[in-house]
Amino acid sequence: MAHRIQNFESLATNALRTDALAIAEAGYAAIDVGSALAHTLHKDDAALHVGAATYPLAGRRVFFVGVGKCAFAAAKAVETILGDTLTGGVALDVSPVEGAPLAKIEAYIGTHPLPSEVNEDATKRIVEFLSGRREDDLVIMLISGGGSTLLCLHDAPMTCTDESTLWSELTARGATIQDINTVRKHISRARGGGLAFAAYPAEVISLIVSDVPGNDLEFIASGATVLDTSTVADAHAVLARFGIALPANATFKETPKDRKYFDRVTNTLFLTNQNALDAMRDAAAARGYAAGIADAAFAGEARDTGRAVVEKLHGAPAKSAFLYAGESTVTLGSEHGAGGRNQELALAALADVRDDELVLSFASDGHDNTDLAGAIGDAATRLHAAAHHLSPEEFLAGHRAYDFFKETGDGLVTGYTGSNVSDLIIAIKQ
């Protein structure tokens, strides 16, 4: 069977590494959107079945709209599952369609993490597509992380540059994703319930893949199909709290508040990092580890998290496995190199990890701000660094984790996975 981790064999140089990589493979498999849809979505001659819910098909057209890092994977699965039942659709993702092109669903590739006119044009097409739906139409949506950046639909004269400025200022000041998306919802007509508004009066099944700690549907992809409880006043309050001025070209707009636009929308939490954590725990247990989920929503500085994970390993008995999900941050100085949250976390762990311990930190979407998905911090990595005369401390100080792991060969390569449920950490002891 092919590995999701493309360099599995070259990384699996000892038993501890082989175990960690196999556990990671189980996590990736559990959040495979295509497989999850195949288990959830079924049809017969009379109806479409989504989990336990049944939707009669007589006299109805069925459409698909996908937004975010899982959009194309979902679109391919939906085309396969529904076949001729599918009338058409639109999907907006951040990376190209893998394999054969989509047959019935229009595919658009946007930019991430910063918005662009490409995103805005694609969003206009999605809204136009949804606005043509009738009351007896059924629209299946797959909403996933990355959707906030992709769903740009500003009122003139606001531009994508204005939004990028807001995003950069908020992230630089340590704003949470809830803060950022509260602002985002009030500057784009496609967020904060905007897609539900556009699809009205059609019936909508919205399957939501969460990359947000806590899984609040209002904040995943800025709640594109969810009734928004925040207001323009809340958006202004976020900016005021961080001392940020609204760009001159920008104005906040209220999100749709009339419940009629949401009465025929079913929002379902489809996949979360819990799916990955449960699968990794089972895989670790099958390999003889006493496995537990240590934290399903870790946060904080990546280097601090890496050190804390190692400290927990130090106090654990042999054959222990600790599993984590969440999203750390990296505070950059004026000068820095290339890297990502997971690579920095693994590099920080390297300073204290013992010979019988290993920390593997990786992005569920396969893209840790670089072409690496993450990295391994263990005794073997230390040996590789010494062989190349590299100082882990110097690379960590300069935020150059990517350069370090490319040189040592201890970075994970997966390519885009077509899923996105946060970052994941595996910490194991021999």
Low-confidence ranges of the chain (pLDDT < 50): none
CB 229 within 8 A of CB 259: no
Alpha carbon 50 to chain centroid distance? 23
Longest CA–CA span in the chain (Å) reads 69
Tell which residue, 110, 106, 120, 124, has the closest CA to residue 64.
106
SS3 (DSSP) at 67: strand
Decide: 184 and 191 in contact? Cβ < 8 Å.
yes
Specify the residue for token string 């895989």. Answer: 283
Q: pLDDT tens, 44-55? A: 989 999 999 999
CA–CA dist 346, 404 (Å, integer)? 11
What confidence score (pLDDT) does residue 334 get? 67
Check residue 98 and give its pLDDT: 80
Helix, strand and coil content of the chain, in percent to the nearest 5, comes to 40, 20, 40
Nearest Cα to 324, choosing from 350, 296, 305, 347? 296
**Dist. CA 10–CA 186, nearest whole Å:** 47
Identify the CATH assignment for 8-30+276-429 out of 1.10.4190.10, 3.50.50.60, 2.40.50.140, 3.40.1480.10. 3.40.1480.10
If DSSP states are collapsed to H, E and C, what string results for 238-301? HHHHCCCCCCCCCCCCCCCCCHHHCCCEEEEEEECHHHHHHHHHHHHHHCCCEEEEEEEEECCE
Q: Where in the chain is the domain with CATH 3.40.1480.10?
A: 8-30+276-429
What pLDDT is attached to residue 78?
98
| pLDDT for 332 | 73
Q: Where in the chain is CATH 3.40.50.10180?
A: 33-271
Q: What pLDDT is attached to residue 329?
A: 82
Query: b/e for 290-328, b at 16 or more Cβ within 10 A?
Result: ebebbbbebeebbbebbbbbbebbeebeeebbbbbbbbb
User: What does CATH list as the number for 33-271?
Assistant: 3.40.50.10180
Report the distance separating Cα 71 and Cα 90, nearest Å.
9
What token pair was written down for 70?
Answer: 């899982």
Tokens 């997971």 locate to 342
pLDDT tens digits, one per residue of 53-100: 999 999 999 999 999 999 999 999 999 999 999 999 999 999 988 888
Instruction: Please give the pLDDT value at position 323.
Output: 99
Starting from the edge strand earliest in sequence, which strands make up the sheet with 47-50, in order? 41-43, 47-50, 53-56
